[in-house]
Amino acid sequence: MIKISLISIGPKAGMAHYISGLANALSKHTKVTVVVADYLDKEYFNQDIKIIKIKTGKTRKQVLLNSFNIFNFYKIWRIFKKLDCDVAHFVSPHPWNFLVSFFIKQPIVYTVHDPAPHLGENSIVAFFYQLMVGRAKKIIVHSKIHKEYFLKKGFFEKRVFQIQHGDYSFLVKWQKPEIKEENNILFFGRIEKYKGIKYLLEAFYLVQKEIPRVKLVIAGQGDLSSYDLIKQSSNIEILNYFIPDSQIAELFQKAKLAVLPYIEATQSGVISIAYAFKKPVVATLVGGLPELVEDGKTGYLVKPFDSRALAQAIIKILEDDETRTTMGKNGFEKMKKELSWDKIASKTIEVYNNCLYKKA
């Protein structure tokens, strides 16, 4: 049985779900150790998984301060020098990854969720992310378009593997039968410039003209101060904070659809969550999103920057109960067939074996 260390020390909320889903599935076939930030809840992981916590910080300021804490980095150095594993797998980005990788003697696998920097992303942080790619013996990406990105950059095909993002069906355990579906459109996730909030708000203005009793729910951390259109409708609910798992379930139960109006993207775990709750998805034709959303089957795909097309797709789903229900079921079946963590773990183990037993 091979021994794997999964490393995810970043503050992004979705990464807790990602590393735990992968670790729990891998632990059925390998011996797993996870190295995570000290604030991550152990309850996410199976009991047979060894958990090592390190002090990183939730905010940029905390991360910066801890970066110059010599005693903290000495502890981190000792932890990574003594890692008992055959393969070290970094599953999320963090500015420390590049430095920490030099403490590790085992071959490194790196999952790259976002191959290119997003609009508004810190250029220094993005630079360190790119450096980390060079440290990896094998690279995992979540979509065909991102594998092609690396191949065009000159990476050998045998170094880059495409494995889908796993499902978030565990969130369904927080469902409550008394919570009923409402006439809600849900935008869920951290507020970032590249996620196209501006176009969603413009689209919602058009949707309201056709369906006055509709509500837009925007749920997630981030800066919304530049979006003046929010103030022009009483039918917009803002939940501008970190959303706990139990509330995620409630939001998706109440929603009739999830919307991803991104103007650029790589992939998104939000689609997996929507499918778990049998909700159709309206998304844009950017990045790897078209590989997850089947147009006309699990939702609709529209061009980015097109508020009118976005509105029309939303209206079609809201006004057709039968189509909406069918799309939700199709998404759920797609999730079970293609996005199960057991399937993702099996493919990931193939990468580990390739890393260990085949020449790079």
What does the angle CA 40 – CA 43 – CA 47 come to, to the nearest 5 degrees? 120
**Two tokens at 234?**
């009483």
**Two tokens at 25?**
């599935």
Residue 103 has a pLDDT of: 92
Residue 233 has a pLDDT of: 83
Residue 67 has a pLDDT of: 75
DSSP symbol at 31:
E
Neighbouring-strand partners of residue 88: 5, 108
**Distance between CA atoms of residues 350 and 336, nearest Å:** 21
User: Strands across the sheet with 160-162, in order?
Assistant: 50-54, 31-37, 3-8, 87-90, 108-111, 138-141, 160-162
**Distance between CA atoms of residues 117 and 113, nearest Å:** 11
Question: Rounded to two decimals, what is the model's pTM?
Answer: 0.88
Residue 94 has a pLDDT of: 86
Summarised one tens digit per residue, pLDDT across range 6-27 is 999 876 667 888 999 999 999 9
Residue 135 has a pLDDT of: 93
Residue 11 has a pLDDT of: 62
Which DSSP helix (H) or strand (E) runs through 120? none
Decide if 1 contacts 29 (C-beta within 8 A).
yes
Which DSSP helix (H) or strand (E) runs through 256? strand 255-260
Residue 55 has a pLDDT of: 85
Low-confidence ranges of the chain (pLDDT < 50): none
Which DSSP helix (H) or strand (E) runs through 259? strand 255-260
Residue 31 has a pLDDT of: 97
What does the angle CA 328 – CA 332 – CA 334 come to, to the nearest 5 degrees? 115
How many Cβ atoms sit within 10 Å of the Cβ of residue 173? 9
Residue 24 has a pLDDT of: 96
Q: What is the DSSP string of 330-344?
A: HHHHHHHHH--HHHH
Residue 199 has a pLDDT of: 97
Query: Which domains, and CATH codes, for the chain?
Result: 3-166+340-357 (3.40.50.2000), 169-338 (3.40.50.2000)
Decide if 190 contacts 264 (C-beta within 8 A).
no
Phi and psi at residue 339, in whole multiples of 5°?
A: -115, 15
Decide if 298 contacts 290 (C-beta within 8 A).
no
